[in-house]
Amino acid sequence: MANQFLRVWRRYRSVPIVYRIAAAFVLGSIVGLAVGPPAQRLQPLGDLFVRLLEMIIIPIIVFTLLMAARRLSPTNLGKIGAQTVLLYLLTTTVAIALGLGVSNLINPGSGVTLTGGNVDTEQAPSLGQQLLNVVPTNPISAMAEGNILAIIFFVLVFGIGMTLVREESDADSSIRDGIDTIFETAEAGAEVMFKVVWGIMEYGVIGVFALMAALFGEIGVEAIRAYAMLAATLLLAVAIQITVVYLLVLLRGVVGVSPISFLRGTREALVTALSIRSSSGTLPVSMSNAEDNLKIDEGVYSFSLPLGATINMDGTAMYLGIVAIFAANIAGVSLTLAQQFSILVTALLASIGTAGVPSASLVMMTAVLTQVGLPLEVIAMIAGIDPLLDRLRTMNNVAGDLAVSTVVGKWNDAVDLTAGVWAGGVGEGDVVASESATD
């Protein structure tokens, strides 16, 4: 009997977690529709999942942002580095603003009401006060109170400060060794927290099933419309970001090249990102496309693309803003301009520490929703359809990395616009692919 149970358990575990959560999403929805209001008795099992997510907010932010700050060392931040970082921050800011704008236009989640979620209904501070509150008077108190934006600000300042001290210290200095130890501890801590996240997501199969059953048991088929609107909002925002910001403004306007050529030269990377849902996993393909097809100098793409896989999360940041509006609508809360600005800043900073792995944004959503007092139950609600939406976000992220790398290459005479796809030909990567297809 025990051996049979182990075989069933191993077979269950062999199915990727994203598929199990998606199945739980579907099954929970069916149970909720079939059973009706009695399905709400499963709510406590879903609430436990939400509490587990709340538990890891602060550690995840601290460890991942310290790792990001380590990459932004003064050694890397030369002319090319500064241009790359500034462009990444600019495109991410535009992406978040675009996501918020499209969300305010479509209003995903409107018509559906979430009950039982914890919503902070206190009077929102003014825009000026929001900006002032970014700087904590007591970082420890900010962590205890869950002031996400203040925590992000302090950790980034502290991390960049450590990189500056490290660069100024002697190679054999005890101070340098101590800072390296802190960074290594942060890296180890991040790995531990991702392992904890894995455990939480294992339980998330039960949590998502329970929350979906309770939601559909209370609301019924009206919830389906809310999910369709959420997906449509992200699809429209991603289409505008890629078409207008990357292809028309950056490539056609700044570089002066054909957007079609760019798409032809990056299609392997974009398709890979769409398939595996990981910016980091797509990195080898992105670098190959940058060198073989876009003809960008290695001195540019070897820095810009790995950095982009870490801090340039346009699609993810855009989605964080969309989910915030979605959560506000189903919670019956109207967000002020100051609160939406707070979402923009929080999503921008949180995206810097978002790992380039599938569905990592689910963790960062906790930071954005907590900042404006919205219910975290929304995270579990959308976890089931996140694998589908994550593909769009990852493709957006990778397209942004390659577009920015092309612009920086143009500014530094480090891209050959007379060869590769720019000359109407194919890169070596396309030749290899064509030969493989012929074989």
Tell me the per-residue pLDDT of 339-370, one tens digit each, with 9 for 90 and over.
Answer: 888 888 877 877 665 554 455 566 677 778 88
Sign of CA dihedral 219, 221, 225, 228: positive
Cα–Cα distance, 131 to 345 (Å, whole number): 9
- Would you report the helix, strand and coil content of the chain in percent, each value rounded to 5? 80, 0, 20
The whole-number pLDDT of residue 128 equals 61
Q: How far apart are CA 210 and CA 29, in angstroms?
A: 9
Instruction: Share the mean pLDDT of the chain.
Output: 80
C-alpha 331/C-alpha 145 separation (Å) is: 22
Query: So what's the architecture of 24-428 in CATH?
Result: Orthogonal Bundle (1.10)
- DSSP letters along 247-311, please? IIIIIIIII---HHHHHHHHHHHHHHHHHH--HHHHHHHHHHHHHHTS-B-HHHHHHHHHHHHHH
Of 104-118, 190-204, 207-221, minimum mean pLDDT range: 104-118
More confident residue, 48 or 131: 48
Whether 430 and 293 have beta carbons less than 8 Å apart is answered as yes
Summarised one tens digit per residue, pLDDT across range 138-148 is: 988 888 877 76
Contact of 320 with 350, CB cutoff 8 Å:
yes
Question: What percentage of the chain has pLDDT greater than the value 90?
Answer: 19
The structure tokens listed for 123 are 């009077």
CA–CA distance, 260 with 382 (Å, rounded to integer): 34
Residues in the chain: 439
pLDDT tier at 193, thresholds 50, 70, 90 = confident
Residue 387 or residue 257, greater confidence: 257
* Burial class for 19, CB neighbours closer than 10 Å (0-12, 13-18, 19+): exposed
The residue-averaged pLDDT of 49-61 equals 77
Residue 334 contacts residue 328 (beta carbons within 8 Å): yes
Distance CA 398, CA 430 (A): 18
Question: For 66-120, what is each residue's pLDDT tens digit?
Answer: 876 776 666 655 678 789 889 999 999 999 999 999 999 998 877 666 555 444 4
- Round to whole Å and give the CA distance between 86 and 90: 6
Determine how many CB atoms are found less than 10 A away from the CB of residue 255: 20
Residue spans of alpha helices (H) in 2-147: 2-14, 17-35, 43-55, 57-71, 79-106, 127-133, 139-145
Residue 198 contacts residue 357 (beta carbons within 8 Å): no
pLDDT surpasses 50 at 437: no
Rounded to 5 degrees, φ, ψ at 415 are -140, 135
CB-based contact 375:259 (threshold 8 Å) = no
Structure tokens at 23: 């199945």
Residue 363: what pLDDT?
A: 65
Of 402, 93, 408, 103, which Cα lies nearest the Cα of 247?
402
Q: How confident is the model at residue 430 (pLDDT cuts 50, 70, 90)?
A: very low
Q: Higher pLDDT residue, 409 or 424?
A: 409
**296 phi and psi, to 5 degrees?**
-85, 140
Q: What is the pTM of this model?
A: 0.68
Tell me the residue type at 5.
F
